[in-house]
Structure 1
């Protein structure tokens, strides 16, 4: 049975990850939020968190159930930081899916299920659909939105904490994770990548850390986290990976997700609002390669959280080793 719980200031995030049933959530939603009846709840997807679509008498929302302890979410203050950040961006005119406050005026709320505390947040619905092959004109508007997000983020203050992205996060952690799996699965080692990794480390170390170049970022600006509609335009959501990092991190994710024409249009739109320094612009391709390495850890961590099979993890590791070989053979920039 699912029970409504008062908001609790707990620092631990040790959660089993069991998916909560749609019917069980309806009672909690009715008690926690001021939503119009009838309320409908439908499971959408699960990864590091579970997400549900909520229809409250025609008004749409997204419910997130936090379900695991992860590297970039150390405690509850990290989650509160994200929710505060989203409220701040929304209040400053940046198009993001913002958290809905509860009857008790909280953005982060809790429920109990089978003697386990679960943290939940309800978000504004992003109209439209995932961005796919967008035209250059729309891509420029998207670039302007990302730049506006970065500029507004410079003024954000919070009593809560959030991680900083550094070389350890980008390079050391993924390699350590891969080596652990390689040893367990008895696969070929990745010692061939050591020199390349060291060079990547030094290149990242040369990036500027000024307030303009290093600050709050979305952290995962892939097309599945952005919706577009002709009426409402672009809206960014899922700030679960937001962090303090290099601003080109968000641009490098976009670089990996779109063809060169769209990427260049995004970049032009971005620079019309926030110009990049020469080293920032030159480093985006290199940073994209680094993100291909980091992606492997994120995928493997997600497979662990969702208790995927050994075979599925093996496929990811083998594919990552192939990617590292390709990166290792690229000319140095």
Structure 2
């Protein structure tokens, strides 16, 4: 029987959908009262979707959060509240923009479920690689400023803490299905992660600096510099309460990956970053000693993130070579 002519109201399930930029442009224009939009284009697919919007006077960025990552309103509201708090403390950040009704968060009914959207101020300046000691020192100071001025931050909204359950245990849920054919390597990785966790528990953890973390301070993006070296932080999508040693470990990890063949430069940039940080906020010896463990944990989390997202971004870049590269990193990590 030929069913080609039949119509059905049942949609095939989707993991991720790309919203129409034409429809978004119209929605934002109406919701925010912006009738002078000159350009609206899809800019970046990552852990969320980012759109660049230009008007005759001001530019904006519109972010659409993924339904599988930010399924609860409170998770996005936490970030919005934190950004407003940071602005009040004098930290330069990309700010959320309220619509005509005073709402910061839009709920968009996509095929995979509700997705939240937020309009942000556009960050002037340019991203630049933090690859010299002067800018590493400045970046360290800026990170310490965030940590210091958020010590008093509290929120009524719930947000996943950056704890070991999230960073290690949940990561293995994403990693394991992609290593079923490499059981020996998987067991080695599990043992390695357990050793990292045991090392951290020796400190003990409650003696490490805990508070608001940006969550993605690699220093390659997420901060924009002007010619006078003034800067603005953005993309706090991974923020939350966590250990500050974990937050700064991402800067160290990014340098270790890029400068693995130039260890002298790696240490110069790291030392400049720490000197800049400690000129604003002190780090205990235990926090500094915990950084190498958090470097490994951050890399483990990134591995889980990439493998877990392969159904969205495609698995071609996250094959056996990818897994082997991560294992080599762990085996050469000095902890």
Which TM-score bucket, shorter chain as reference?
0.7 to 0.9
Check 1:133–1:312 CA distance in 2 against 1; reply closer, same or farther (3 A cut): closer
1:117, distance to aligned residue in structure 2 (A): 4.1
Runs of 4+ in 1 over 6 A off after TM superposition: none
1:149, distance to aligned residue in structure 2 (A): 0.7
Once residues 255 and 329 of structure 1 are traced to their aligned partners in structure 2, the CA distance between those partners, rounded to angstroms, is 15
Once residues 248 and 157 of structure 2 are traced to their aligned partners in structure 1, the CA distance between those partners, rounded to angstroms, is 26
Name the counterpart of 2:278. Answer: 271
Cα RMSD between the aligned structures? 2.4
Tell me, which stretches of 5 or more residues in structure 1 are unaligned?
1-13
Once residues 143 and 60 of structure 2 are traced to their aligned partners in structure 1, the CA distance between those partners, rounded to angstroms, is 23
Asked whether 1:201 is paired with 2:197, we answer yes
1:115-134 Cα shifts (integer Å, max 9, x gaps) = 96432101111111223044
Once residues 192 and 162 of structure 1 are traced to their aligned partners in structure 2, the CA distance between those partners, rounded to angstroms, is 32
Residues paired across the two proteins, number = 311
Name the counterpart of 1:146. Answer: 143
Tell me, which stretches of 5 or more residues in structure 2 are unaligned?
1-12, 256-265
Matches for 1:161-180 after TM superposition, within 5 Å: 161-180=158-177
Check 1:26–1:197 CA distance in 2 against 1; reply closer, same or farther (3 A cut): closer
Check 1:17–1:196 CA distance in 2 against 1; reply closer, same or farther (3 A cut): closer
Counterpart pick for 1:96 among 79, 82, 93 = 93
Q: Is the 8 A contact 1:89 1:152 kept in 2?
A: yes
Name the counterpart of 2:157. Answer: 160
Name the counterpart of 2:188. Answer: 192
- TM-score norm. by structure 1 comes to 0.85
Once residues 170 and 116 of structure 1 are traced to their aligned partners in structure 2, the CA distance between those partners, rounded to angstroms, is 26
Name the counterpart of 2:61. Answer: 62
Once residues 134 and 326 of structure 1 are traced to their aligned partners in structure 2, the CA distance between those partners, rounded to angstroms, is 21
Q: Is the 8 A contact 1:36 1:57 kept in 2?
A: no
Check 1:146–1:36 CA distance in 2 against 1; reply closer, same or farther (3 A cut): farther
- TM-score norm. by structure 2 comes to 0.84
> Which secondary structure state, in structure 2, belongs to the residue aligned with residue 129 of structure 1?
coil
